[in-house]
Amino acid sequence: MGEPPKNAASANRRFDTVLIANRGEIALRIQRACRELGLKAVTICSEADRQAPFGKTADSVLCIGPANAAKSYLNKDAIILAAELTGAGAIHPGYGFLSESAAFSEAVEKAGLVFIGPDASSISTMGDKISAKRAMIAAGVPCVPGPQTALPDEPATVERTAQEIGYPVIIKAAGGGGGRGMRVVSEAGALHEAIALTREEARQAFGSPALYMEKFLQHPRHIEIQVLCDVHGNAIWLGHRDCSMQRRHQKVVEEAPAPGISPDLIGPVGLACVEACRQIGYRGVGTFEFLYEDGEFYFIEMNTRLQVEHPVTEMTSGIDIVHAQINAAQGIPLELRQDDIRCSGHSFECRINAEAPESFLPSAGTITELALPEGPGVRVDTHIHAGYRVSPYYDSLIAKLIVHAPTRAEAMARMREALAGTRVEGISTNLPFLRALFEDEAFARGETDIHYLEKWLKQRRAA
């Protein structure tokens, strides 16, 4: 467990100032980690976020463009210039925006700065679903049945591939993500139309028409494995999460550990993920995402960044993942080894969004009153306050409510109490929806899969 780093120069890249290329709760989260590590934190903002709290709490803030994210939070040149002007030696991309952009990672490093995340090569390998699948198979990570190559244009070859896999199949964009660029095909007659539609969607959304095909699993759960790697060949995994409660492929509630999965079953999968990281020279934090059905794990993708749901793993493992990510970027060797990881208790995270609880349409406006829960085992990651104006320009996530308790049942009870004690006035939020979900008996028993929430919502609307 100690291979030399791919780039020896990356083994000692100390910095004293971090520019945070993001906004909202994650900007505040990274600021806190920087202060605890004795680092200065500077941040950028758009014109729409000039009065946002994440700018006021940073050591300095620089407005880099208008509200339009393409001209501010996605403007690579402006962000790198902001780092140079503020004296930052590193850039932390948070999640979303440029966090999984190989081009941005490369541009940051070429500018003589440190990208707090994996290098461009790792992002490229794992960002393309086809190359990622090849890398995982080579490392012994179990994958969804299907070829390791992009779908060809020849109709006969495509039809033969689908028959070999067995219907239903799912067509996916090779460069896709976020629930976009995918279609399920249940029978041969619908295959070519689905491919044509998905190919055009992939071209427009991701800049590449490349597609691939896999077996569509009927009732899987979404299981994640969190990894942490340094540049010295050391890598560990920090337990697992269940993120099956999804609406339109977007996660709503996450928990750790995944209920009902024994350590003996998931242990070899976690070690295979660690070995995959070593083989591709991965650095920093990352998440392997799997579908789990009938006692089998199937790799679907890797997120080469900090996850929105990282707090549930922090609560159960006791490890500050953002600290570890920043340390890895500086070339500091991991002090922990796999035998040191002892996850305990159970944790839930609810994503509180500024949206109507029934239609889920975004709800911008000013928060007039705010009450957030406190107490043992309760954590709130947020950037909002009474008087804060929720912008219509960005993601609707306004807070993450996290709880931890000795058992899953106790954690559910704690979350019910925490949700009851949360009040956001002046805008619509999904709090009523979350409160109802935590009263659901099947969810309480852990008897759900990735399709459960959509069915649950449909039944509620029909009632």
Residue 134 is encoded by which pair of tokens?
């090849």
Question: What's the average model confidence in pLDDT over 304-321?
Answer: 98
Three-class secondary structure of residue 237 per DSSP: strand
Q: pLDDT tens digits for 332-358?
A: 999 999 999 999 999 999 999 999 988
pLDDT tens-place string over residues 275-299 = 999 999 999 999 999 999 999 999 9
Q: How far is CA 198 from CA 144, 161, 300, 443, 454, in A?
A: 19, 17, 18, 32, 22
Give the Cα separation of 406 and 409 in Å (integer): 9
* Catalytic residue chosen out of the listed positions 13, 241, 305, 408: 305
CA nearest to 224, candidates 349, 383, 114: 349
For 174-202, what is each residue's pLDDT tens digit?
887 666 789 999 999 999 999 999 999 99
Asked if residue 11 has pLDDT above 80, the reply is: no
Tell me if residue 305 is catalytic.
yes
Q: CA gyration radius for the chain? A: 22
Burial string for 66-89 (b: 16+ CB within 10 Å, else e) reads: eeebeebbbbbebbbebbeebebb
Q: How many CA atoms lie within 13 A of 69 on its CB side?
A: 12
- Residue length of the chain: 463
- Which band of pLDDT confidence, cut at 50, 70 and 90, is reported for residue 7? very low
pLDDT at 181: 86
Which residues, at least 6 apart from 359, have a Cβ–Cβ distance to it below 8 Å?
none
**Distance (Å, whole) CA 396 – CA 390:** 8
| Structural contact between residues 305 and 93, judged by C-beta atoms closer than 8 angstroms | yes
* Range scoring the smallest mean pLDDT among 2-16, 99-113, 384-398: 2-16
Q: In the structure encoding, which two tokens stand for residue 209, read together? A: 């028409």
Query: What are the C-alpha distances in Å from 272 to residues 137, 158, 199, 280?
Result: 10, 31, 32, 13
pLDDT in tens, 137-175: 998 999 989 998 899 999 999 999 999 999 999 999 988
Give yes or no for residue 429 having a pLDDT over 90.
yes
Overall average pLDDT of the 368-383 stretch: 98
